[in-house]
Amino acid sequence: MAQRSTFAATLSRHQYLFFIMPAVVLVLGLTAYPALYGVLVSFTNLNFGYATSKFVGFDNYVRLATWPALPQVLFNTAVFVTSVVALQLSIGLLAALLLNRAVFGRGLVRSIAILPWVIPGIIIALMFQQFFSGSRLGIMNTVFSVFGLESRTWFSNPTESMLVLILAVVWRGVPLSIILQLGGLQTINKELYEAASIDGASRWQMLRFITIPSLRPILLINVIMATSGTLNHVDIPLALTGGGPGRSTEVLALSIYKQGFEVLDASYASTIATVILLLNLLLTIVYLRVLRARDELPS
């Protein structure tokens, strides 16, 4: 009897295990384990076309470093990520400032401005594909002709193709910036503005010396989230341009898919994935630092 009650006491002391275990096991099993498994695969010569594989050390990493397409893919990735992040942040900040003004109708405008965020990536890809179609059916060319501009071929031109890709991803990503920046704007103490206006500050000065500095932590979180989101983004590049024409819009994340499921070279794809994983870890470390600095994390 005494033994049973000790057992019962132990059980109730560790009752939390029943609550947290299903989640912990599932998440470790299907996110942490695959990530480590992927790193392991990058040291083999596993190919979806062959039955067996063996350990090959750093061979895949040497192959990746000497891959003739690597400079172009890295260049594309850099252009894609920096343009998307810069545009998302600046347009998002502008829109958030606009939507933070106490004017009639802003609730409706805000709801519509955030709408692109919920639209599936595949739909956005289809939409922009038709929008920027190089045939005369593309409405963008029609709009261009109204303004007396020349028609563009869009997807058969490397630069224009990248431009449309960036536009599509920005169109979808700006709402996240708006949500974050609006949240940040609402935490700024209104008295700061009142004090500044008494001191005769202009609106530009208030923006420059009150709003932007107060938003800095949120802007930083936004940069990290947008960078990670864009670096790992495959949906729209895959469905909109498929990396083409040639390799002109192939970004690193898309190379994982292409090498793994078109070339079937699973280990090579895992090598690229491992590189992206390391970049993600780097971003995560910065992210945690920022959150710690803001006391948002239990240390």
Partner 1 sequence: MSFLPNVAERPAPAAVRTEHLRRRIGEHAGTYTLYAALLLIVLFPLSWVILGSFKNPSEIFAYPTTFFPRDFTLSNYADVIRRTALPTYLINTAIVTAFTLVFTLVIGTIAAYGFSRWNFPFKNTILVTLLILQLIPSTVNIIPYYLMMNWFGLLNTRTALVLIYTATHVPFTIWIMKGYFDTLPRSLDEAAVIDGCSMFRVFWSIILPLSLPGLSAAGFLVFIGAWSEFLVPLVIANSRDVAVMSVGLYSFFGMDATAYHYAFAASVMSTAPVVIAYLFAQRYLISGLASGTDK
Applying the rule CB under 8 A, the residues between 10 and 29 that interact with partner 1 are 14-20, 22-24, 26-29
Per-residue interface string for the shown chain with partner 1, residues 148-177, x marking contact by CB under 8 A: -----------------------x------
Tell me if 246 contacts partner 1 by CB under 8 A: no
Tokens 């003004």 correspond to 101
For the chain, give the longest Cα–Cα distance.
92
User: Binding partner 1 by CB under 8 A: which of 89, 233, 249, 258?
Assistant: 233
Tell me if 266 contacts partner 1 by CB under 8 A: yes
What distance in Å separates the CA atoms of residue 251 and residue 258, rounded to the nearest whole number?
10
Tell me if 102 contacts partner 1 by CB under 8 A: yes
Tell me if 262 contacts partner 1 by CB under 8 A: no
Compute the least distance from the CB of residue 142 to partner 1, in Å: 5
Compute the least distance from the CB of residue 90 to partner 1, in Å: 14
- Measuring CA to CA, which residue among 250, 208, 253, 249 is closest to residue 227? 253
Compute the least distance from the CB of residue 247 to partner 1, in Å: 18
Q: Which is nearer to partner 1, 89 or 273 (CB)?
A: 273
The answer to whether 43 and 58 have CB atoms below 8 angstroms apart is yes
The answer to whether 247 and 213 have CB atoms below 8 angstroms apart is no
Tell me if 284 contacts partner 1 by CB under 8 A: yes
56 — phi, psi (to 5°)?
A: -125, 15
Give me the torsion for CA of 177, 178, 183, 187, rounded to 10°: 100
The residue count for binding partner 1 (CB under 8 A) is: 95
Q: Which is nearer to partner 1, 86 or 97 (CB)?
A: 97
Contact positions with partner 1 (CB under 8 A) in 33-62: 33-35, 37-38, 41
Q: Which is nearer to partner 1, 5 or 31 (CB)?
A: 31
Which pair of tokens denotes residue 85?
């992040």
The answer to whether 134 and 154 have CB atoms below 8 angstroms apart is yes
What distance in Å separates the CA atoms of residue 45 and residue 54, rounded to the nearest whole number?
6
Task: Supply the angle between the helices 158-186 and 106-114 in degrees, to the nearest 10.
Answer: 140
What distance in Å separates the CA atoms of residue 149 and residue 21, rounded to the nearest whole number?
62
What distance in Å separates the CA atoms of residue 114 and residue 89, rounded to the nearest whole number?
14
User: Binding partner 1 by CB under 8 A: which of 3, 31, 52, 66?
Assistant: 31
Q: Which is nearer to partner 1, 160 or 235 (CB)?
A: 235
Compute the least distance from the CB of residue 1 to partner 1, in Å: 22
What distance in Å separates the CA atoms of residue 249 and residue 61, rounded to the nearest whole number?
23
Contact positions with partner 1 (CB under 8 A) in 60-89: none
Compute the least distance from the CB of residue 213 to partner 1, in Å: 16
What distance in Å separates the CA atoms of residue 92 and residue 127, rounded to the nearest whole number?
22
Segment contacting partner 1 (CB under 8 A): 57-65, 157-165, 205-213, 250-258? 250-258
Tell me if 128 contacts partner 1 by CB under 8 A: yes
Question: First-to-last CA distance in the chain?
Answer: 42
Segment contacting partner 1 (CB under 8 A): 2-10, 71-79, 137-145, 198-206? 137-145
User: Binding partner 1 by CB under 8 A: which of 1, 2, 51, 103?
Assistant: 103
